[in-house]
Amino acid sequence: MSIAVLGAGAFGSALAVALATRGPVTLWGRSTGWGRENPRLPGVTLPDAVTVTGDLPQATRADTLLLALPAQKLGAFLADHAAHLDGKTLVSTAKGIDLTRLTGPSRLIASACPAATVAVLTGPSFAADIARGLPTALTLACADPGRGKALQHALSTPVLRLYRSSDVTGAELGGALKNVIAIAAGTVMGAGLGDSARAAIITRGFAEMTRLSARLGARPETLTGLSGLGDLMLTCSSVQSRNFRFGHAIGSGSDFDSGTTVEGAATARAVTRLAAELDEELPIAAMVARLAQGAVSVENAMEHLMNRPLKEE
């Protein structure tokens, strides 16, 4: 299997570093003038086995392409480059729901590249941890069991352990939705509301994740696996998370660099629209969407969430 990573941000670069321990990897990016150290992944020098290129036709000669682009950029990228991508094995790492089409990456890929094999690589993994070779376990989801197994073996390393799933919908929803809840958890901590409030928001957030995912056809056990609960735990508890830090800035009234990729902000809006279409109530996600747009104060958001009608758990 020949492998290229498309998207030379923090995660694409980290995956290239990890997979280069197994063999040659091509890393494609729009702007690659930074040489062997990507500013999005500071302190990491790309090994010789990684070929960095800005030439998409060259990169897409590989049969397996890992798409490491932000979710809101993926649709346009696929539309622009479908001729180079269709027919390949396309593995998405994006953790978000497209705001205009209200679908996850797998359906975006399938509609733009109908002859491609679609897979999703997701789970608890900070780019910096993967690049440093720290032990990490992820989910590789592919509807085709044979192809899924081949990918699982080709993309695993001694420190990057992939578990296989055929539930692509569940795997990608877990990764997208946990980012929304991480913003909520960050907000709680930034506002100084305490560890107990964070535990409450994570737990009730997880209830929203499982409810929406079930409506969209995900398997419950996928949500309790690495791609759901696993990534939720990581992202809601670490300042390494950009979604958590974004929420923390909202909660503490601090500035936040708008150039940072924060998937949960647009995904909260997408989820709110999706929930309305499905007549499903997701109060935390709805509040995150409003907080992220500055449409509600933290105080009013918390008051609203705490004073909803009392209900059964």
Ligand X SMILES: NC(=O)C1=CN([C@@H]2O[C@H](COP(=O)(O)OP(=O)(O)OC[C@H]3O[C@@H](n4cnc5c(N)ncnc54)[C@H](O)[C@@H]3O)[C@@H](O)[C@H]2O)C=CC1
Ligand-binding annotation for 12, yes or no, is: yes
Q: What is the DSSP string of 254-296?
A: ----TTS--HHHHHHHHHHHHHHHHT---HHHHHHHHHHTT-S
Question: Two tokens at 74?
Answer: 């993926």
Give the strand pairing for 64-67 and 89-92: parallel
124 binds, among ligand 13P, ligand X, none (CB under 5 to 8 A by kind): ligand 13P
149 included as an active-site residue: no
Biggest alpha carbon distance in the chain? 59
Ligand-binding annotation for 43, yes or no, is: no
Q: With helix as H, strand as E and coil as C, how does 91-141 read?
A: EECCCCCCCCCCCCHHHHHHHHCCCCEEEEEECCCCHHHHHCCCCEEEEEE
Binding of residue 244 to ligand X (CB under 6 A): no
* Active-site hit among 73, 149, 178, 311: 178
Task: Give which of 137, 114, 245 is closest to 187, Cα–Cα.
Answer: 245
Binding of residue 10 to ligand X (CB under 6 A): yes
Rounded CA separation 198/133 (Å)? 30
Using the minimum distance from each CB to ligand 13P, give the nearer residue, 182 or 270: 182
Least Å from the CB of residue 247 to ligand 13P: 10
12 binds, among ligand X, ligand 13P, none (CB under 5 to 8 A by kind): ligand X
Q: What angle do CA 302, 304, 308 make, to 5 degrees?
A: 120
Ligand-binding annotation for 312, yes or no, is: no
231 binds, among ligand X, ligand 13P, none (CB under 5 to 8 A by kind): ligand 13P
Using the minimum distance from each CB to ligand X, give the nearer residue, 54 or 145: 54
Tell me the chain's radius of gyration from C-alpha atoms.
Answer: 19
Binding of residue 301 to ligand X (CB under 6 A): no
Residues in the site for ligand 13P, rule: CB under 6 A? 95, 124-126, 179, 182, 231, 234-235, 241-243, 263
- Signed CA dihedral, 90, 71, 114, 121: sign only: positive
Amino acid (one-letter) located at 298 = V
The site that binds ligand X (CB under 6 A) totals a number of residues, namely 25
Binding of residue 36 to ligand X (CB under 6 A): no
Ligand-binding annotation for 242, yes or no, is: yes
30 binds, among ligand X, ligand 13P, none (CB under 5 to 8 A by kind): ligand X
Binding of residue 139 to ligand X (CB under 6 A): no
Ligand-binding annotation for 231, yes or no, is: yes
Using the minimum distance from each CB to ligand X, give the nearer residue, 24 or 70: 70
Q: What angle do CA 52, 29, 125 make, to 5 degrees?
A: 90
> Where is the binding site for sn-glycerol 3-phosphate, in residues?
95, 123, 125, 178, 231, 241-243
The residues that are catalytic are 178
- Binding region for ligand X (CB under 6 A): 7-12, 29-30, 40, 68-71, 73, 76-77, 93-96, 125-127, 261, 263
